[in-house]
Chain A
Amino acid sequence: MSEVTLRAENLSAGYGRRPVVEAFSCAFRPGEVTVLLGRNGCGKSTVLRALGGLLPPLAGRVLLDGEEIGAYRPARRAQLLATLPQGRDVPDITARRLVLHGRFPYLAYPRRYGPAEQARAEAALRRVGIPELADQPLKRLSGGQRQKVYLALLLCQDSPVMLLDEPTTYLDIGCQLETWQLCRELAAQGRTVVAVSHDIGQSLRYGHRVLLVEGGRLLLDACPGEAAASGALERAFGVRVRRVDNDYLVVAP
């Protein structure tokens, strides 16, 4: 896996002309799972959209492998960076078909999916543990199963940078932990993994780095141990964080 960095420099982003996020600077490194934490509406997803190039920056810039992300051809960008969006549509197709679309950026017109693509889609579905659902229509799957299909799509796209917006919603606790484990594995392969999460305990347990966003600004950028010790998370969410062996327990104040 070629190592690709992603960097935000003094980034402002938002909808219309009003910035939701301001002066956000951060470098995301290969081999790490970076978790974005913050309360609802703090601008986490906006950061992720801007990082993925979906939202053009109002000021500052996003550099993917050293080049501005907006300057890439869309297909080339998609080869380097994949996003799992928060709002995931339920199109009227089978799981296999959705996962196959992960190969779209690699194929030249007319983009027919051949045996090589089929094999990659199969492998991705196996990796997330749902090979038996390949030929089920998405509409018949449960929320958690659909979530896994979307994760398989991401794996099939196989980009060195992966941005995941709340990858564990809809999943039961076992699957949530599996998903975090998957993130760690992807990072261990040399990928740059950035995830938005609402679960402080899981973020501290599985992230290599934790970023805290508050009011559209980056408040904290630290490794989990420091982040937990700093007290910033406790102040931001109004909770107490206790360390229990390798895990972190979030309790009422």
Chain B
Amino acid sequence: MARNKHPGRAMSLGALAVLLSALLALCLGAAGLTLPQLWEGMTCPDSIPGRILFHVRLPRVLTTLLCGCALGMAGAVLQTVLHNSLAGPNIIGVNAGAGLGAVACMALAPGAAAMQVSLCAFAGALGAVRCVYLVGRAAGSSRLTLVLSGVALGSLLTAGIDAITTFVPDVLPSATQFKQGSAAMASASALPPLALAVLAGGAGILALSRELDLLALGDETAFSLGMRPGRYRLAFLMLACLMAGSAIAVMGLVGFVGLIVPHMARLLTGSEGRRLLPLSGLLGAAFLTLCDLAARTLFAPYELPVGILLSALGAPFFLGLLIRRRGA
């Protein structure tokens, strides 16, 4: 449904959500910071609040903001390009592909730089999405075909991750955490390549938002209106995989952000790319940051990997989509 009446309002809401979630996530945690302490920390990095802020909270919050933005936008692009509202990156095997790429890179080249791991995750994600797309096209037009082939491919790729972590246990100090998706592994050194991928991918996607609108009309109509759908689809899949892959390389297999967030954004602003894409990025950033905050504070002193919380939210959401689709 297209609700385009207050596009500016939706965007401000998204920006506000990002700011609030970042502020909350910076302040709350095992050692809470009050606002004056936060200020002290920011102005004086060597103070205790400063150390908490710059060594613990800030890298983590930046990681969840960037990963959430990447996954939200990637999900919006995938759902549009594949004409399938069920096409979250985790559902169609993109996450597993990126995870396998990242783990394979770490196993084959121990000590690889974050940038290299990101690139391998990108390659893995792209391989997975091409595979699922081609299978879906060969098998017929049903929307569930894509999901089913994603499930099959996903379990194959996850088995690949398991195989590598079994044979080369040193690859991942916490393989379980990686498979669930967690921001606890976040480090400041992984941020620059992640930020680069999010900026480049996000800018590319936003620049082509009108072309994305045309792709949503189906290949024949898009072609008739004067674009080359195949070429643009490939470009969009690459950009989406670049974003999702670099997020997965840093946080592991975080599921469902890319499925849930575009649906929230679409409810707020309709499905026109120029509004949907930036809003998906903003809401994704806020959503993942809030989820991570909840995961590390709700059961303190235990810290839940955020992936578990996301699955608890995402799986029912997915089932709800299935049921609603049937009724529609």
Contacts and interface: CB of A to CB of B under 8 A. Distances in A.
Contact of A101 (B217, B220, B266): B217
B225 interface: yes
Interface in A88-131: 88-89, 91-94, 97-98, 101-102, 104-105, 110-111
A120 to B, nearest CB: 14
Interface string B269-300: 01110000000000000000000000000000
B8 to A, nearest CB: 16
A87 interface: yes
A110 B1 contact: no
A53 B271 CA distance: 29
Name B's interface SS. Answer: loop
A75 B218 CA distance: 17
Interface in B246-280: 266, 270-272
A20 B83 CA distance: 28
B327 interface: no
A87 B213 contact: no
Nearest to A84: B224
A78 B216 contact: no
Nearest to B225: A104
A140 to B, nearest CB: 8
Given A75-B226, A92-B216, A94-B4, 16 more contacts: A49-B220, A52-B224, A53-B223, A74-B227, A75-B227, A81-B224, A82-B224, A83-B223, A89-B83, A89-B218, A91-B218, A92-B1, A93-B213, A93-B272, A94-B2, A105-B226
Interface in B192-245: 207, 210, 213-214, 216-218, 220-221, 223-228
Given A89-B217, A91-B216, A105 B272 contact: no
Given A97-B272, A111-B210, A137-B2, A91 B217 contact: yes
A86 B224 CA distance: 12
A201 interface: no
Contact of A77 (B1, B2, B226): B226
A10 interface: no
Contacts of B218: 85, 87-89, 91
A54 B223 contact: yes
A5 interface: no
B221 A88 contact: yes
Interface residues of B, number: 24
A85 B272 CA distance: 22
A197 interface: no
A91 B270 CA distance: 11
Contact of A87 (B220, B226, B228): B220
Given A89-B217, A139-B1, A101 B225 contact: yes
B82 to A, nearest CB: 13
Given A88-B218, A98-B217, A78 B1 contact: no
A116 B83 CA distance: 30
Contact of A89 (B2, B221, B223): B221
B157 to A, nearest CB: 30
Contacts of B328: 139
A101 B83 contact: no
A25 interface: no
A79 interface: yes
Interface in A1-36: none
A81 B270 CA distance: 30
B112 to A, nearest CB: 38
Given A91-B271, A93-B2, A85 B225 contact: no
A101 B213 contact: yes
Interface in A41-77: 49, 52-54, 74-77
